[in-house]
Amino acid sequence: MSHPTRVETTVAELGISCDACHGPGERHVTFHQATKNEDPAVIAAAPMVDPEKISQVAASLICGQCHSSSQARDPIDWLKNGSRYRPGEDHTESFRHAEIGSAEPLDAPYLKDSFWNDGTCRAGGDELLDLHDSACYQQGRMSCLSYHSMHDSDPTDQLRCSNDSNESCLQCHEQYRDQLEQHSHHPIGSSGSQCANCHTRHTSFALLKAIRSHRVDSPRTTDTTLGARPNACNLCRLDQSLQWTATHLSDWYGVPRITMSETDQKTSASLLWLLRGNATDNRRVGYELATRA
Ligand code: HEC
Ligand code: HEC
Ligand code: HEC
Ligand code: HEC
């Protein structure tokens, strides 16, 4: 007989099972073992969830059940019975997500360091939360599947358009196709003309490397104090100051200039991040240096 304070656990399946993304498969399998019928009408009688055929919100929650920080609304039920969520359903019905600024903040203090001051994820694994903060998701139909494919992609990063990443953005922002150089102010084909390098910079840390922010937004300069998210321009131009970036954002894009300290005006921003930041910030700048060596 087990001790009352011990939790009895069993492994259902090692790795990420088909059911985690497609829903319970038992009925589907027994049905097809019995009929062996290839008729689409018959197959539809015992369906599996196809993430591509449901709303972008429900599809993203399939990934977000694991790729976000969440707490069960009923922890005792969760410990006894496991997750009540099934793919295709609303994950937030049984779990609270750690959205910064949400009406339902999580109790876990360790989450505080998982976010930059502006609420963007600093630690990887919370990609859903950044997606939720993106205008492309809120006003468009962007989902995890706009970029990722689970069965037709390289296992590293699992990107749908790995040959030309700009296509992932141009599928919705077609107007930038012919005006890319005017917009980016960098030569076509250079890393400075890759949409993702300016709009989803590597500002999260996970899987022992820097990964792209999943919050699509535009470069901005704030300051270099602890917790301020590094901007795309200074993560590329490691030798330049925030002032240099602010001047270009103003000259090229009309972004209003902000007042900044004399140090931020004169010193390379990457050096200040290294000196003022915590371990994650240091790794961020270290990643840029290491990937260029
Ligand atoms: C049941 C949990 C679970 C679900 C559901 C899930 N993931 Fe993951 N995912 C993980 C874990 C755990 C890892 C880290 C694996 C490792 O490298 O050790 C991961 C890693 C990844 C990676 C990084 C791969 C690499 O090594 O470069 C990507 C990209 C990714 N997931 C995308 C998705 C997308 C998109 C979905 C939804 C279609 C999804 N995941 C659904 C648990 C999950
Ligand atoms: C991490 C999530 C995830 C896991 C695990 C997963 N799938 Fe999928 N599956 C998807 C997504 C997302 C799609 C939509 C197409 C794509 O992304 O490639 C899909 C599509 C499919 C399709 C439709 C493909 C088509 O050509 O129309 C089938 C069939 C399928 N999956 C079967 C499986 C089986 C069998 C397993 C287990 C061996 C599995 N999937 C595991 C996410 C997943
Ligand atoms: C599924 C469609 C879709 C995809 C994919 C998509 N976007 Fe968007 N995006 C939108 C919509 C809709 C808006 C809101 C209207 C607008 O500003 O054009 C938007 C807004 C934006 C904004 C303004 C953000 C803000 O906060 O004001 C930027 C920048 C942007 N997108 C860049 C990108 C980049 C870069 C990519 C590729 C990494 C991308 N988008 C992918 C649909 C999409
Ligand atoms: C060199 C950096 C850079 C690259 C590369 C880049 N952008 Fe931008 N983009 C910016 C900046 C900076 C702004 C912000 C302008 C502002 O804040 O008003 C911006 C703004 C935008 C906006 C919002 C426009 C609006 O009116 O609100 C969209 C959408 C956008 N970019 C899409 C793209 C797409 C799609 C690509 C790739 C085809 C791309 N960008 C490549 C720097 C870049």
Q: What is the pLDDT of residues 98-144, one digit of tens each?
A: 766 554 555 566 677 788 888 888 888 999 999 999 999 999 999 99
Residues of the chain with pLDDT under 70: 1-4, 99-110, 163, 293
Nearest listed ligand to the Cα of residue 146: 3
Q: Which amino acid is at 290?
A: A
Task: Choose one of 49, 158, 209, 212 to mutate for the ligand 1 pocket test, by most ligand atoms within 8 angstroms of C-beta.
Answer: 158
Whole-number pLDDT of residue 293: 58
9: left (phi over 0), alpha (psi -120 to 50) or beta: beta
Tell me the per-residue pLDDT of 183-209, one tens digit each, with 9 for 90 and over: 999 999 999 999 999 999 999 988 888
Q: Which amino acid is at 104?
A: E
**Using an 8 Å Cβ cutoff, are 22 and 87 in contact?**
yes
Within 10 angstroms of residue 139's Cβ, the number of other Cβ atoms is 8
Smallest Cα–Cα separation from 245: which of 225, 212, 226, 219? 219
Whole-number pLDDT of residue 103: 46
Q: For ligand 2, what atom is nearest to the CA of residue 17?
A: 5
Smallest Cα–Cα separation from 73: which of 94, 43, 104? 94
